[in-house]
């Protein structure tokens, strides 16, 4: 007989232990419930899973996004917070999500039915974020494809690379502000860079306009068509201009490639990753070797490694580092849960997680070294500081590397290698993002697996239509907003809720029992302390500090004031799913009072259905959740006069 006021429901925790499915053995691939629905497929080989994780994690976030954020946030001042957050949050979450999906054999939405229905909005939010990322990541593939084809055509014609000195005389260029490569170090230039905010003298003549390198003008005026022909007036959110038809064709071609990669599901995607996960490493090491041998490379590498302490104390640097860590490892996006769900239950996902997380971090650092070695070279050539040698932003890779290749022997070869690498990692990132979205559809409506070509084709076509504004002449500003809000800041919210529910609601002890039984090994205090406290605390601190010291996105003053509002609308599309689906879960839960419904929504029916009406009366107030030493939470309640001590 329990004492009025409070009692420990140890009977509940013992019931929980009997309702959790076995922790070992091979999963049944047949969809539960309906024997006529298609079976859930699995990876043909373990290597395909590992390479898929590498292809997704070691993607554009590492090679394209990491270097430009590092450059924008002071090099080493960005690297140090990134590594700290990686240790406290990224690495633990990477393994947690992979094991989470493998154990429950469900995608990122349906998995919460087994774990905690109130968290269903996490999967919905992650699906929306992944869909948004896939819409604008493919734009990078379109830019890359454009560069690749014009470089290849110029090589076959025996011409210089298109962004050579001759471009200053092109109809798209603005001759008065175009700085040819061979003018460098031959003038009285006090400040020179691919994007020059201040240029006082050029050939001894005082000037009033900004100067741009050939590669910067080519990127802005040909690839993006951001400016009117021969003019300095740019397009943007206020005036989007016309569709860039060549870029639109490259966008369409990229979606066709993505469709044929995804149409057969993970079976085909698993084969493609043999290329998308290995080729980038080969090319990256080639570029790294060449970049490190350039004059001035050591200056750039030093800038990347040594932090600027004024930037290190900037909250924005820490927020960007946190966002990039989630981006780089793909944690908090649902993709790791999706990939892990296609594993066999006895797969050693701990080993896989360690391999991929180390490879991901190494790739980010190598990409940073490669980028900053080139920046150091350009700074030495132009006799300027590294902090002003290039324009900050997503175009950094498309300006800096081509500018450097233009100064090297055989520029066509280096350019083609670079653009092939960038395209393949973009494809790998797209596969991970869209396969997550498609898996959610297939898990919610299993019969759709029989209609994969139609579902995949429709998804790709809709994403293509949504992507058209990105390839207008002012579309790069939409791109900036999506990159900062739709797939950047917003991912922190579902990631935090995921950590809190798994550690504090589902129960850290229960989660450990799941994976320790599945993998037949014990996990030390590093994992328990990060999952249970340090990881969620890190995300909370980053979020609180970000709001306390918030500054709107302006990209050097180029964006209009309403751009920040538009960005928050995009962010809220995913964030709002968390409370909406939590309310739905409480509303749909069994119970006569709101307290009962809330309690039922925290734990799924398969765990709670073993309890009798006498175990928990309709007259209780939920007080707290604590970890039980044998798995799952203990519930401390009071006012349980109806409890008679029996189940």
Q: What phi and psi values does residue 211 have, to the nearest 5 degrees?
A: -115, 145
Secondary structure string (H, E, C) spanning 461-482: HHHHHHHHHHHECCHHHHHHHH
Q: What is the C-alpha to C-alpha distance for residues 369 and 373, in angstroms, rounded to an integer?
A: 6
Q: How far is CA 110 from CA 49, 78, 121, 584, in A?
A: 21, 36, 10, 15
| Cβ count near 176 (within 10 Å) | 12
Strand bridging mode 178-179 / 211-213:
parallel
Q: What is the C-alpha to C-alpha distance for residues 218 and 178, in angstroms, rounded to an integer?
A: 10
Largest CA distance in the chain: 95
The verdict on whether residue 73 carries a ligand-binding annotation is no
Q: What is the C-alpha to C-alpha distance for residues 484 and 309, in angstroms, rounded to an integer?
A: 24
What is the chain's Cα-based Rg? Answer: 27
Q: How far is CA 277 from CA 181, 353, 574, in A?
A: 35, 15, 29
Question: How does DSSP classify residue 34?
Answer: -
The verdict on whether residue 348 carries a ligand-binding annotation is no
**Which candidate, 400, 330, 421, 309, places its Cα nearest to that of 90?**
330
Whose structure tokens read 């297939």?
442
Q: What is the C-alpha to C-alpha distance for residues 236 and 481, in angstroms, rounded to an integer?
A: 12
Q: How far is CA 514 from CA 99, 119, 520, in A?
A: 9, 19, 10
Whose structure tokens read 């209780």?
620
Q: What is the C-alpha to C-alpha distance for residues 57 and 40, in angstroms, rounded to an integer?
A: 23
Whose structure tokens read 């590594």?
83
| Residues 604 and 505: beta-carbon distance below 8 Å | no
Which tokens is 527 given?
């994992």
DSSP state string for 340-396: HHTS-TT--HHHHHHHHHHHHHHHHHHHHHHHHHHHHHHHHHHTS-GGGSS--STTH
Strand bridging mode 195-196 / 205-206:
unpaired
The verdict on whether residue 58 carries a ligand-binding annotation is yes
Q: What phi and psi values does residue 214 have, to the nearest 5 degrees?
A: -60, -45
Which tokens is 497 given?
């809720």
Whose structure tokens read 């959790």?
20
Which tokens is 238 given?
């206020």
Alpha helices (H) along 86-181: 91-104, 111-115, 120-157
The verdict on whether residue 62 carries a ligand-binding annotation is yes
Which tokens is 548 given?
């306390």
**Which candidate, 29, 51, 19, 78, places its Cα nearest to that of 428?**
51
In DSSP terms, which residues pair with 562 in a beta bridge? none
Burial class (CB in 10 A: 0-12, 13-18, 19+), 192: buried
| 415 backbone φψ class: left, alpha, beta (φ>0; ψ -120 to 50) | alpha
Q: Which residues are annotated as a binding site for Na(+)?
A: 58, 62, 328, 429
Residues placed in the known binding site: 58, 62, 328, 429
């Amino acid at each position: 007989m329990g004492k009025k006021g409070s009692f420990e429901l140890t009977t509940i925790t013992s019931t929980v232990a009997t309702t959790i499915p076995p922790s070992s053995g091979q999963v049944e691939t047949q969809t539960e419930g309906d024997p006529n629905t298609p079976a859930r497929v699995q990876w043909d080989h373990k290597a395909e899973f590992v390479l898929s994780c590498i292809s997704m994690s070691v993607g554009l976030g590492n090679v394209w996004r990491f270097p430009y954020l590092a450059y924008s946030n002071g090099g080493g001042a960005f690297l140090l917070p990134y590594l700290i957050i990686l240790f406290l949050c990224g690495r633990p979450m990477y393994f947690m999500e992979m094991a989470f999906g493998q154990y429950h054999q469900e995608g990122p939405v349906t998995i919460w039915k087994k774990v905690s229905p109130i968290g269903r909005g996490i999967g919905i939010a992650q699906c929306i974020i992944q869909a948004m990322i896939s819409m604008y990541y493919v734009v990078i593939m379109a830019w890359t494809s454009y560069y690749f084809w014009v470089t290849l055509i110029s090589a076959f014609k025996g011409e210089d690379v298109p962004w050579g000195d001759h471009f200053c005389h092109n109809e798209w260029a603005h001759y008065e502000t175009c700085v040819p490569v061979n003018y460098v170090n031959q003038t009285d230039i006090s400040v020179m860079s691919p994007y020059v905010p201040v240029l006082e003298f050029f050939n001894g003549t005082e000037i009033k306009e900004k100067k741009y390198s050939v590669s910067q003008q080519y990127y802005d005026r040909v690839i993006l068509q951001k400016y009117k022909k021969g003019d300095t007036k740019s397009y943007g959110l206020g005036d989007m201009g016309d569709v860039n038809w060549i870029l639109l064709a490259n966008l369409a071609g990229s979606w066709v490639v993505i469709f044929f990669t995804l149409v057969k599901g993970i079976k085909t995607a698993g084969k493609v990753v043999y290329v998308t996960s290995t080729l980038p490493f080969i090319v990256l090491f080639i570029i790294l070797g060449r970049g490190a041998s350039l004059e001035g490379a050591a200056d750039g590498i030093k800038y990347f490694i040594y932090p600027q302490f004024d930037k290190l104390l900037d909250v924005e640097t820490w927020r960007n580092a946190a966002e990039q860590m989630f981006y780089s490892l793909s944690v908090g996006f649902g993709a790791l849960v999706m990939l892990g769900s296609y594993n066999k239950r006895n797969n050693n996902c701990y080993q896989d997680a360690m391999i991929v997380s180390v490879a991901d971090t190494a790739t980010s650092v190598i990409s940073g070294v490669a980028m900053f070695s080139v920046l150091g070279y350009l700074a030495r050539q132009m006799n300027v500081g590294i902090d002003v040698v290039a324009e900050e932003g997503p175009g950094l890779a498309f300006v800096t590397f081509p500018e450097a290749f233009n100064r090297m022997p055989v520029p066509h070869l280096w350019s083609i290698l670079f653009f092939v690498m960038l395209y393949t990692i973009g494809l790998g990132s797209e596969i991970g993002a869209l396969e997550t979205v498609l898996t959610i559809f297939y898990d919610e409506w299993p019969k759709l697996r029989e209609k994969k070509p139609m579902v995949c084709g429709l998804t790709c076509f809709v994403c293509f239509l949504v992507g058209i504004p990105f390839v207008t002449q002012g579309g790069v500003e939409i791109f900036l907003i999506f990159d900062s809000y739709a797939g950047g800041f917003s991912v922190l919210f579902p990631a935090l809720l995921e950590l809190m529910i798994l550690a504090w609601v589902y129960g850290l002890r229960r989660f450990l029992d799941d994976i320790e039984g599945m993998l037949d090994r014990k996990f030390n205090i590093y994992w328990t302390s990060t999952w249970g406290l340090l990881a969620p605390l890190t995300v909370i601190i980053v979020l609180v500090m970000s709001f306390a010291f918030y500054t709107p996105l302006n990209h050097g003053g180029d964006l209009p004031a309403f751009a920040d509002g538009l960005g928050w609308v995009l962010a809220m599309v995913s964030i709002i799913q968390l409370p909406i689906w939590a309310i739905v879960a409480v509303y749909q839960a069994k119970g006569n009072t709101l307290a009962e419904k809330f309690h039922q929504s925290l734990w799924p029916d398969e765990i709670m259905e073993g309890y009798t009406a006498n175990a928990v009366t309709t007259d209780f107030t939920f007080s707290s959740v604590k970890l039980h030493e044998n798995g799952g939470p203990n519930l401390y309640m009071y006012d349980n006069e109806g409890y008679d001590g029996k189940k």
